[in-house]
């Protein structure tokens, strides 16, 4: 084997050892295998439950990449044999291929971990390739290194997914829906390691008709911390149901935590919102004090009694403070992972938090929540878990209360999508939003159908009317993340997927939209802007003039487009 091939293999091995995720492994393979070996295209398929799945590709279309990984007979034509194995069990080298396509020669290399077949690495070339003996040996070594890295990355992601599902399972499955209070929540886990975390949040319907906001953090990043967090959350819910005030809830929870015999400490903050009185009662046990932003003023932390975390002294009695929350007030509750990490000092994180909260008043809560999460990391670079709960009091004055509505679709009930459209049409008429009714039905139909097909769960549709816009949330209850999509060298999205098509439609129709966590599941939200009065009048006039048959046909056209 030539020194140049040995050098390329050593560089590939070094970079693969630093690739923790499947995406990192595929990107390393594309960068360190294609150019050194002069390949026109690369494709990697793996075996999932006995069937091949395209993990990543570059330099070809998805269809050609999948055919290439299965072209074990020396032809790139579609192979439809039922008994054909989805992988190769030995290296195959084809020096010349008679085809009009871009591939003139190719090789297939088995990806094996021990005695188990993990998949296939395929390399295609745009010229005849003789594959010398040293090149064949080098490519076999490359495939072995790649297989080991894929196996390690899959094991890592499996363990991490289990930890995330444990954590997500302890969060509320769905948050209450209020007309007088708008709420956005986030919880994110570390992207490094496979440990769980102890951060959590909750929103409670209190016995006296008020609203409870709770956020907390159990020290440590272990499954034990997550288990203790689940116990504390259940205890707080029980004491809350008995009608205790926030300080009494924390005092009783602290005593019970001592009885549990754990040596872990926890911080917690409880906020009881009274929309009728426009006040908030706040009690904190060693937790960061919530930030309040009154209309036209900067965010600031209210003066509250100082208190130690839960689990330090069983006889601690906690106090509380009451603050006014005039209409438009925003409350931000968060855990320290939002402002402090290995790469961000606490003072710098707190300063960044206040800077991001000083944005214009018209920032949407969902957008604000995403902006705050960026302080200590992004989706693929985060070393601590973090939770944030943002609530805005919208007011109760006559004519200013925001209307809300929601409907549910049972799992697998695709026929109920028609009922969702009827619900949307009714709400649009009642709330004077007929001008956007067609766009509303089409966008929601796409999102609900995608959730039923891809998330395999129940689906909830929530509507909230603002003065100038209509907001829609489509939520599913499936905590499992979607299967990884193939990695392209260009980083472009797979536009052939049905899910991608649905989001393209939403993007075209909505004034703004996004995708966010929601309790144990996920939520896709979008907003439609209220059109000018002249367009609304024209829409109502057209609706009145149209007969039943015409309206039915319009609905059918919308259904066909969906």
What secondary structure, in 3-state letters, does 278-335 show? CEEEEEEEECCCCEEECCCCCCECCCCCCCCCECCCCCCCCCCEEEECCCCCEEEEEC
Asked if residue 178 belongs to a domain, the reply is: yes
Number of domains in the chain: 3
Q: Output the pLDDT for position 166.
A: 66
pLDDT band at 215 (very low <50, low <70, confident <90, very high): very high
What's the whole-number average pLDDT of the chain?
81
> What is the predicted pLDDT for the residue at 522?
77
Q: Quick one: pLDDT at residue 542?
A: 53
What is the predicted pLDDT for the residue at 106?
92
The pLDDT of residue 49: 72
Grade residue 331 by pLDDT with cuts at 50, 70 and 90: very high
Last residue of a domain, one of 122, 148, 164: 164
Q: Return all residues near 93 (Cβ < 8 A) that are at least 6 apart.
A: 107, 129, 131, 136
The 3-state DSSP class for residue 241 equals helix
Q: Is there a domain that residue 201 lies in?
A: yes
Of 393 and 521, which is predicted with more confidence? 393
pLDDT given at position 14: 92
Q: For residue 398, is it within any domain?
A: no
Q: Does 153 share its domain with 259?
A: no
Q: What is the mean pLDDT of residues 329-335?
A: 95
Average pLDDT of span 397-413: 74
Regarding whether 230 and 124 lie in a shared domain, the answer is: no
Query: Among positive and negative, which fits the CA dihedral 100, 103, 109, 111?
Result: negative
Which pLDDT belongs to residue 456? 74
What confidence score (pLDDT) does residue 560 get? Answer: 34
pLDDT at 212 (0 to 100): 95
pLDDT above 80 for 464: yes
Identify the residue with better confidence: 480 or 189. Answer: 189
> Does a structural domain hold residue 225?
yes
Domain boundary among 330, 359, 393: 393
Q: What is the largest CA-CA distance in the chain?
A: 84
Residues 154 and 278 reside in one and the same domain:
no
Rounded to whole angstroms, the Cα distance separating 502 from 292 reads 37
144 shares a domain with 43: yes
Domain boundary among 117, 149, 164: 164
Domain identity same for 379 and 499:
no
Residues 160 and 189 in one domain: no
pLDDT at residue number 513:
85
The residue among 471, 461, 332 whose CA lies nearest residue 402 is: 471
- What integer pLDDT is reported at residue 556 of this predicted model? 38
Residue 487: which pLDDT band, with cuts at 50, 70 and 90? low
CA–CA separation, 283 and 245 (whole Å) = 9
- What's residue 401's pLDDT? 52
Q: 457 with 375, same domain?
A: no
Q: Which domain covers residue 314, as residue numbers? A: 170-393
The verdict on residue 399 lying in a domain is: no
- Does 551 score more than 90 pLDDT? no
Per-residue pLDDT of 251-296, as tens digits, reads 999 998 888 777 888 999 999 999 888 999 999 999 999 999 998 8
Per-residue model confidence as pLDDT tens digits over 289-319: 999 999 888 999 999 888 899 989 999 999 9
141/66 same-domain check: yes
Q: Are 191 and 310 members of one domain?
A: yes
CATH classification of the domain holding 387: 3.60.40.10
Cα 64 to Cα 42, 378, 434, distances in angstroms: 10, 33, 46
pLDDT, average across residues 387-415:
80
> Quick one: tokens of 116?
């188990």
Handedness of CA 338, 344, 350, 355 (dihedral sign): negative
Using DSSP's 3-state secondary structure scheme, residue 310 falls into strand
pLDDT at 362 over 80: no
Asked if residue 492 is part of any domain, the answer here is yes
* Confidence band, pLDDT 50/70/90 cuts, at residue 535: low
Let me know whether 418 and 373 are in one domain: no
pLDDT at residue 175 tops 50? yes
pTM: 0.64
- In angstroms, the CA 421 to CA 282 distance is 41
Q: What is the reported pLDDT for 494?
A: 46
Q: Are 423 and 384 in contact (CB under 8 A)?
A: no
**Residue 155 included in any domain:** yes
pLDDT in tens, 62-89: 888 888 888 888 777 655 444 455 677 8
pLDDT digits (tens, 9 = 90+) for 118-171: 789 999 998 888 898 989 999 999 999 999 999 888 888 777 777 666 666 667
- Give the separation between CA 498 and CA 380, rounded to whole angstroms: 25
Specify whether 82 is located in the same domain as 230.
no
The pLDDT value recorded for residue 163 is 67
Whether 286 and 196 map to the same domain: the answer is yes
């Amino acid at each position: 084997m030539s020194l140049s091939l040995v050098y390329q293999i050593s560089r590939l091995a070094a970079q693969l050892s630093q690739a923790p995720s499947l995406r990192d492994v595929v990107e390393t393979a594309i960068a360190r295998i294609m150019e050194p070996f002069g390949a026109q295209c690369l494709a990697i398929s793996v075996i999932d439950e006995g069937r091949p799945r395209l993990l990543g590709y570059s330099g070809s279309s998805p269809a050609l990449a999948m055919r290439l990984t299965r072209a074990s007979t020396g032809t790139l034509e579609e192979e439809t044999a039922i008994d054909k194995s989805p992988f190769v069990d030995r290296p195959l080298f084809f020096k010349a291929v008679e085809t009009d396509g871009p591939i003139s020669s190719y090789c297939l290399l088995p990806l094996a971990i021990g005695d188990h077949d993990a998949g296939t690495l395929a390399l295609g070339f745009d010229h005849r390739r003789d594959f010398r003996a040293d090149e064949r040996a080098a490519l076999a070594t490359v495939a072995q290194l790649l297989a080991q890295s894929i196996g390690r990355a899959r094991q890592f992601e499996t363990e991490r997914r289990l930890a995330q599902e444990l954590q997500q399972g302890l969060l509320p499955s769905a948050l209450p829906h209020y007309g007088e209070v708008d709420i956005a929540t986030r919880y994110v886990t570390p992207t490094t390691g496979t440990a769980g975390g102890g951060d959590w949040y909750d929103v409670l319907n209190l016995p006296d008709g008020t609203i409870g906001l709770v956020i907390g953090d159990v020290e440590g990043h272990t499954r034990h911390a997550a288990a203790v967090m689940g116990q504390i959350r259940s205890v707080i819910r029980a004491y809350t149901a008995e009608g205790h005030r926030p300080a009494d809830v924390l005092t009783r929870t602290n005593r019970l935590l001592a009885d549990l015999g754990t040596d872990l400490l926890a911080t917690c903050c409880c906020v009881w919102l009274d929309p009728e009185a426009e006040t908030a009662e706040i009690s904190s046990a060693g937790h960061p004090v919530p930030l309040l932003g009154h209309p036209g003023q900067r965010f600031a932390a209210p003066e509250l009694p100082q208190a130690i975390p839960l689990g330090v002294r069983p006889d601690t009695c906690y106090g509380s403070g009451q603050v006014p929350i005039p209409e438009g007030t925003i409350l931000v509750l968060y855990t320290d992972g939002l402002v402090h990490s290995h790469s961000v000092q606490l003072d710098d994180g707190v300063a960044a938090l206040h800077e991001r909260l000083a944005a214009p008043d018209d920032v949407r809560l969902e957008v604000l929540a995403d902006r705050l999460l960026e302080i200590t990391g992004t989706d693929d670079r985060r070393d601590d878990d973090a939770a944030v709960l943002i609530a805005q009091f919208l007011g109760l004055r006559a004519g200013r209360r925001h209307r809300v509505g929601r409907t549910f679709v049972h799992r697998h009930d695709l026929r109920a999508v028609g009922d969702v459209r009827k619900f949307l049409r009714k709400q649009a008429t009642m709330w004077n939003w007929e001008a956007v009714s067609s766009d509303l039905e089409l966008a929601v139909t796409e999102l609900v159908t995608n959730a039923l097909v891809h998330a395999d769960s129940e689906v909830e549709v929530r509507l909230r009317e603002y003065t100038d816009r209509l907001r829609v949330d489509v939520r599913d209850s499936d905590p499992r993340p979607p299967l990884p999509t193939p990695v392209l060298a260009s980083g472009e999205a797979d536009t052939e997927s049905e899910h991608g098509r649905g989001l393209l439609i939403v993007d075209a129709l909505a004034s703004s939209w996004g995708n966010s966590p929601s309790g144990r599941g996920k939520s896709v939200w979008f907003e439609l802007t209220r059109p000018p009065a002249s367009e609304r009048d024209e829409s109502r006039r057209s609706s009145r003039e149209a007969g039943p048959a015409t309206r039915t046909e319009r609905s059918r056209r919308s259904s066909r487009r969906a």
